[in-house]
Amino acid sequence: MRRSDHWTILIVPARGGATRPLRVPGWIARATRTCMALAFCAVVFVGWQLQARFGLLGPHVTELGGLDFGADRFGLFMNVAWSRPSPTPDELRRRAAIQRAQKLGLGDRRAASSLLLGMVEPAWRQEAERVRPGDGTLLWPVRSGWYGRGYGSGSGGYHLAVDINADRGTDVLAAAPGIVGYAGRELRGFGNAVLIIHPGGWVTLYAHNASNAVIAGQRVVQGQPIAALGSTGRSMGPHLHFELMHDGRNCDPMPIVRPGPDSYRNYVPAMDPLAWRPGTARPEAVRCKRRMAHPSHADDDEGGHEVDAHAAARSGDGAATARADAPAAAGLDGIQL
């Protein structure tokens, strides 16, 4: 080992003058070099962390971090290099919806039972009225869907809903702006179902969906896809079972559906568009009736829920509809009667 190794640094003045040599012991020069290398690594590391957490490539870096390297060789490093992408706007909205649903008590079976009966708690209605109200009409909720059967059909007129036929997987659209009160598959007979609370205290139901695309607490605008049309629950084939509820009753949505379905012009003759704006009186053409017990024929679709909801109405207790969610329902899901 050489004892007398020195580095000579020449200091050259910018504006001329004599160059001065500066002799530095070798170990200082080497230490300086090492420090600079370490500092460079630190900058790279911090930069990587920052871009992983906040940068555009964050999600991809996180994916890399999630790769299974087999050996644990990288384990420690990957733990140290913990990184997570910042939440996307969609994710932030999802979290807000979950929080809102929790705060308001939406999204569970109790809330669904209440909404099925057209009963909207004041806090729910207030929340729904924070969205921009629509024009008092309902959008036909399946763009290319054709009218199957309507309000008051079925034996005894129990079917207080409109059935809309379309191909499986077709988008089901929110008929009016509002807040999702329930999205799940715990209501017997309905399969995957979505309930939306609208300004003015309307509630709409979309049942038999192949899948739901929204969650409770989420705000929706008119025309927003909320589900894929299907045939889950007690259903004879792909269709949307669409209901409008208001103030404890089921109402005929057709007079305020604008524009109506193409194949349905005869049912709603060319009349002035009818609107039912929040806070205004219900148009006479919109008939409303209490939900009825289903005659329970094996060859009818949508059986149980009407019966169960009716039972709840009699008892006046939303909790009673918990029976509507009995496990027996599970066996019926997906069966096309």
Contact set with Zn ion (CB under 5 A): 161, 163, 241, 302
Tell me the helices (H) and strands (E) count for the chain, helix number first. Answer: 8, 14
Give the chain's radius of gyration (CA, Å). 32
178-184 and 192-197 beta bridge pairing:
antiparallel
Q: Which residue number has the CB closest to Zn ion?
A: 241
Contact predicate 46/81, CB 8 Å: no
In the bound complex, what is the minimum distance in angstroms from residue 148's beta carbon to Zn ion? 8
In the bound complex, what is the minimum distance in angstroms from residue 157's beta carbon to Zn ion? 13
The amino acid at residue 8 is T
Place of tokens 């207080």: 160
In the bound complex, what is the minimum distance in angstroms from residue 159's beta carbon to Zn ion? 6
Between 131 and 161, CB nearer to Zn ion? 161
In the bound complex, what is the minimum distance in angstroms from residue 207's beta carbon to Zn ion? 7
In the bound complex, what is the minimum distance in angstroms from residue 109's beta carbon to Zn ion? 20
Between 127 and 302, CB nearer to Zn ion? 302
In the bound complex, what is the minimum distance in angstroms from residue 149's beta carbon to Zn ion? 7
Q: Calculate the alpha carbon distances from 147 to 45, 151, 240, 262 in Å.
A: 62, 11, 10, 9
Between 198 and 241, CB nearer to Zn ion? 241
Residue burial 27-46, b: 16+ Cβ < 10 Å; e: rest: eeeeeeeeeeeeeeeeeeee
In the bound complex, what is the minimum distance in angstroms from residue 302's beta carbon to Zn ion? 5
Contact predicate 146/211, CB 8 Å: no
Token pair for 165: 């036929």
Between 154 and 200, CB nearer to Zn ion? 154
In the bound complex, what is the minimum distance in angstroms from residue 161's beta carbon to Zn ion? 5
Between 163 and 333, CB nearer to Zn ion? 163
Between 107 and 145, CB nearer to Zn ion? 145
Token pair for 103: 């705060």
Q: Calculate the alpha carbon distances from 121 to 27, 222, 294 in Å.
A: 78, 22, 26
Contact predicate 77/69, CB 8 Å: no
Between 237 and 273, CB nearer to Zn ion? 237
Between 164 and 312, CB nearer to Zn ion? 164
In the bound complex, what is the minimum distance in angstroms from residue 78's beta carbon to Zn ion? 53
Q: How far apart are CA 134 and CA 277, in angstroms?
A: 8
- Looking at the chain, how many residues does it have? 337
Token pair for 319: 């909790």
Q: Calculate the alpha carbon distances from 200 to 33, 183, 320 in Å.
A: 73, 21, 26
Q: Calculate the alpha carbon distances from 248 to 203, 217, 218, 266, 282 in Å.
A: 10, 21, 23, 30, 14
Between 163 and 171, CB nearer to Zn ion? 163
